[in-house]
Structure 1
Amino acid sequence: MNKFIKLMYSFDGILVFGLLFICTCAYLKKVPRLNSWLLSEKKGVWGVFYKAAVIGTRLHIAVAISCLAMAFYVVFLK
């Protein structure tokens, strides 16, 4: 539990959260019902979900490599 709290309030935690957010939004873009409900707005606060989904789908190779590198870092080096 202490490791989770420490990871949550560090720069590493922000990177992990960002990568997970991008991956989740890209996955939700593939689900038709959730795509029309959550990712329909392109501006404002809800537009963050849409923009993260676009980043996840267009840069899927870079995001996947970043996820693997961050997982390796968190599990083995930290």
Structure 2
Amino acid sequence: MTNVYSFDGMLVFGLLVICTCAYMRRVPRLKQWFLSEKKGLLGVFYKASVIGTRLHTPVSVICILMAFYVLLLK
């Protein structure tokens, strides 16, 4: 089990936020409701969705590498 306060946990949490926000950006109803704010606290989710959609290949490779690390090496 990963700990949120460790560096590994923060990386996993960040990757999950980026992947979730990128998925939510693809769903029209969720995009209008959740990702309409571009500034402030909710702007972080908008920026994560932009990162996830523009850099989808590196993010997916990092997710796969992190999954192997968490499952096999940790």
- Tell whether the structures are fold-level matches, with TM greater than 0.5: yes
Deviating runs (4+, > 4 A) in structure 1?
Answer: none
1:39 to 23, 35, 39: 35
Unaligned runs of 5+ in 2: none
Structure exhibiting the larger radius of gyration computed from Cα positions = 1
Unaligned runs of 5+ in 1: none
- Report the TM-score when normalising by structure 1: 0.90
**Identity value in percent:** 68
Whole-Å separation in 1 of the counterparts to 2:25 and 2:57: 17
Whole-Å separation in 2 of the counterparts to 1:77 and 1:34: 36
Whole-Å separation in 2 of the counterparts to 1:70 and 1:17: 11
The one-letter code sitting in structure 1 at the alignment partner of 2:50 is V
Equivalenced residue count is: 74
In the alignment, is residue 19 of structure 1 matched against residue 15 of structure 2? yes
- Report the TM-score when normalising by structure 2: 0.95
